Amino acid sequence: MRLFGLGHPVDDNVRAGRASHEWQSRAVAESPALPAEGPIPACTAAEDRGPCQARWRAGSNEREEDVVSGATPTNFGGGGAVAERISKRFGTERAVTALRGISLRAEPGHCTAVLGSSGAGKSVLLRCLAGLERPTEGAVRVGGTDLGRLGEVELTEFRRDRIGVVYQHGNLLPELTAEDNLLLPFDISGRRPDRSRLDRVLDALEVRELLERRPHQLAGPEQQRVALARVLVQRADVLLADEPTGALDAVTARHMLRVLRRCTDEFGQTVVLFSAHPRSAAYADRIVTLDDGRVTKEWEPAAGCRCAQAEAATDHIA
């Protein structure tokens, strides 16, 4: 049997057993990096990246994307992610405070970079936005939904369908092919992906030729691209990228950041990028710096000088 016409035979027993696996599983050791050159065009901070226009269909959660040359992405109602004065403490008697009244808004159809050194609170903030941790105080809303009002089952389903998280190594299930990993959320939920969007994503992120391989046969950046494709195909409200360049050399890191930027420009995907590297800010529409669980600065860099501004504002980051 062929899965959604993608040209890869899938064993029925494998399909039946997928729901028992955790979507986010153990990571596979990273393989050699991708070459720097490739069909994905280089993108400088000053370039017009050809963003796309995204909108919601009336009365539904289904978005339409139309590539519009030179246009600015249109905010689609209800999208994006918002943290409202959230704090997070661990423990009781000797509580450790990881977040201290953080407010953050990731605008729909934009890329937001959250920068900070180790221990600044980036990972805890990501987990709160992803619904993996409940804040001690404050509220988190994704796509207009208050995560604090969802029960555990509802929250699990919401994370599966509406929130995408991409880690350094992709976190693909090693037992499954890249194709099976990409379509896993649909198998679990019983939905079918939009074929036209699926084709667009496969071509834009150059993963079509990777579909029959298993994670151990993929380089680290290839695993990340498969994970990114999974988020784009499922039309998640927000894509949270956790240190996506942390294990990459400088050249390959730039390539990966360009890929992330394409997710916003060509698909209107809301992206929140968490990193300790100031270079990541050069690809963002908005930059937020954290220190000791607090927001220390946030700004929208002027076109053409994102890199310089990011370096100047984050020179304390190791």
Spatial CB neighbours of 209, under 8 Å, sequence gap ≥ 6: none
Q: Using CA atoms, how far apart are residues 153 and 128, in angstroms rounded to an integer?
A: 17
Q: Following DSSP, what letter does each residue of 60-92 receive, concatenated?
A: SS-EEEEE-TTPPPPPPTT-SEEEEEEEEEE-S
Q: Using CA atoms, how far apart are residues 137 and 91, in angstroms rounded to an integer?
A: 14
Q: What is the pLDDT along the chain (318 residues), one digit of tens a residue?
A: 334 444 433 343 333 333 333 323 332 233 233 333 333 333 333 333 333 223 222 333 333 333 322 333 333 323 789 999 999 999 888 889 999 999 999 999 999 999 999 999 999 999 999 999 999 999 999 999 999 999 999 999 999 889 999 887 778 999 999 999 999 989 988 888 899 999 999 998 889 999 999 999 998 888 988 998 999 898 899 999 998 888 788 888 888 888 889 889 988 999 999 999 888 888 999 999 999 999 999 998 875 454 445 445 444 444
Residue recorded with tokens 């890869």: 8
| Strands laid side by side in the 163-166 sheet | 163-166, 238-242, 271-275, 111-115, 286-291, 294-299
Report which secondary-structure segment, H or E, holds 196. helix 195-204
Burial of 294 (0-12, 13-18, 19+ CB in 10 A): middle
Q: Using CA atoms, how far apart are residues 171 and 25, in angstroms rounded to an integer?
A: 6
- Domains of the chain with bracketed CATH: 77-313 (3.40.50.300)
- For residue range 149-166, list pLDDT tens digits in order: 999 999 999 998 899 998
* CA-closest candidate to residue 123, choices 181, 165, 182: 165
Residue 187 three-state SS: helix
Q: Using CA atoms, how far apart are residues 154 and 271, in angstroms rounded to an integer?
A: 23
Half-sphere exposure of 17 (CA within 13 A, CB side): 8
Q: Using CA atoms, how far apart are residues 85 and 156, in angstroms rounded to an integer?
A: 23
Across the chain, what does the average pLDDT equal?
75
Asked if 27 and 267 touch (Cβ cutoff 8 Å), the reply is no
Residue recorded with tokens 């990228």: 241
